[in-house]
Amino acid sequence: MGALVSTGALANEAFFQAEVLDAVVAPKAPTTPTDPAWNTVPGRNFSVSAQRTVHLHDRTANAVLTQPARSRVLVKAIAGAETVAIFLEWDDPAREVVREDESNAFADSVALEVPQVFGAGKRLPAISMGDDDAFVKVTLLRATQGGALATHFAAAGFGSLTRQAPAVPDATSLSWDETKKHWSAVFTLPRSSVQGLTPLAFATWDGGRKERAGYKRLSSWHYVRVPGLPLDAQYVKELAYGYAPGDLGDAAQGQALAESVCVACHQLPGKAFAPAGIAPNLQNIGAIAVASYLRDSIITPSLVIIHEPNPNQHYMPSAPKDPNGAAPNADAFRWSSVGADGKRVSKMPPFTNFTPGQIADLVAFLKTLDGQPRENN
C-alpha cells in the first residue's frame, strides 16, 4: 500500500518535472558558454515556437515566418556566490552575424526574459515582453562581427522597450560551434535577483530566416530552482496550475466550444474565418502561454491586454481625414478601448457565463495549440 499523497504534492511533482530546471551550486558561476564547468552540469530541453502575432511590411519575411517553426533550447544553470549563470544552446543552420552599426540586417540573436517582480500573489507577465502591469527585464544578445552585442531592457509589451544599464556589467557571451552548427550563450543574473524558484523565458532569432524584432521563437515561462533557497508553497501552487489532476478539462469539448465561440475573432488551426489582425492568432498559444494565463484571459480579458502590434496597418483610406491629413484606423483592428475611468478595456468580452468545467475544457484545448500542422487540417 502506498502512502497517501495529497493532490498538491502530485501537482507539484508533475510541474517540477515539466517546467523546472535545477541549478548546480558552485563557488563561482562561469561567464562564458565555453567554460568546461558546463560539461558536468545537467541541462533540460525546452521548446521555442514562432511568434505569430506580429506582421511586418515585408512579404518575404511574412511568408517564411508563417511556416511552422519550433525548435529546442538546451538550458543549464550554475548558481555561484555572487551571480547565477544561465546557459542556452540551440541549433542554427548557419551563422549570421552583422556589423555592430547595422540595425536593419538579420543577425542570429538570443534573449533572456525575467519578470521584474515575482512571488506568491503576483501573476506572471504576458510572455511577449510583459504587459502594462507586469514588466519584464530582457537581455538581448546579437551576433555581430565584433562578438556579442548585449542590450538590456525593461519592457511592458510589444514596442515598449526602455534601455537599462546591465545588472551585472559585461558578463554575457555568445559562442558559435561550426562543427555542431549551434550557438551557445551565457546570461548572468545577480544572485540577489534570484529566489527559490525564478521564472525565466527565452527567445531565439535565426537571421537566415529573416527573424528579427517581434519575429522570433519564444518559449513559455519556465523556472530555475536554486537548491538551498526556500520555496513558498503558495507561490508554487499558483505556478503549478494546470498540472494538478482536475485542473484541465476535456480538450475535445474545449475545441468544440472554441470553434463555435472564439472563431468570431480568433484564428484557430484550420478555422481561419476571422480576418487576420482583429485579435491575436492563437495557433501556437499553448506553446508559449502558461495555463493560468489562458484561464485568466477567458475569465477577465482586461486583466492583461495584449497591444495590437500594428494598428496603423489597417487604416481606412476613404474615411474623413484627421487634422493632420491622416486617414483613421479601422476600429475593428483595435484590441482595446479606453473606459470611462481612463483604463483600457479589452475588446474581448469576459465569458462570465461559462461554467468552471467549460473554462477548464477551453484551457485544455488551448494548451494543445503548439503551432504545428495538424492532420485534420
Which residues of the shown chain bind ligand HEC in the complex (CB under 6 A)? Answer: 53, 126, 258, 261-262, 264-266, 279-280, 285, 289, 294, 297-298, 301, 304-306, 335-336, 346-348, 351, 362
Place of cell 481625414: 321
How far is 110 from 202, CA to CA, in rounded Å?
7
Cβ-based nearer residue to ligand HEC, 239 or 306: 306
CB of 297 to ligand HEC, least distance (A): 4
Cβ-based nearer residue to ligand HEC, 197 or 362: 362
Cβ-based nearer residue to ligand HEC, 94 or 272: 272
Cβ-based nearer residue to ligand HEC, 183 or 335: 335
CB of 126 to ligand HEC, least distance (A): 6
**C-alpha closest to that of 239 among 259, 222, 258, 256:** 222
CB 112 within 8 A of CB 156: no
CB of 252 to ligand HEC, least distance (A): 15
CB 59 within 8 A of CB 361: no
How far is 211 from 298, CA to CA, in rounded Å?
30
CB of 289 to ligand HEC, least distance (A): 6
Phi-psi region of 286 (alpha: psi -120 to 50; beta: other; left: phi over 0): alpha
Cβ-based nearer residue to ligand HEC, 144 or 292: 292
Cβ-based nearer residue to ligand HEC, 17 or 352: 352
Place of cell 503551432: 371
How far is 377 from 367, CA to CA, in rounded Å?
18
CB of 195 to ligand HEC, least distance (A): 25
CB of 62 to ligand HEC, least distance (A): 18
How far is 166 from 178, CA to CA, in rounded Å?
29
CA dihedral of 133, 139, 140, 145, whole degrees rounded to 10:
160
How far is 19 from 223, CA to CA, in rounded Å?
6
How far is 291 from 18, CA to CA, in rounded Å?
13
Place of cell 529546442: 72
How far is 27 from 7, CA to CA, in rounded Å?
37
Cβ-based nearer residue to ligand HEC, 135 or 335: 335
CB of 321 to ligand HEC, least distance (A): 26
Cβ-based nearer residue to ligand HEC, 199 or 301: 301
- Cell numbers found for residue 73: 533550447
CB of 249 to ligand HEC, least distance (A): 13
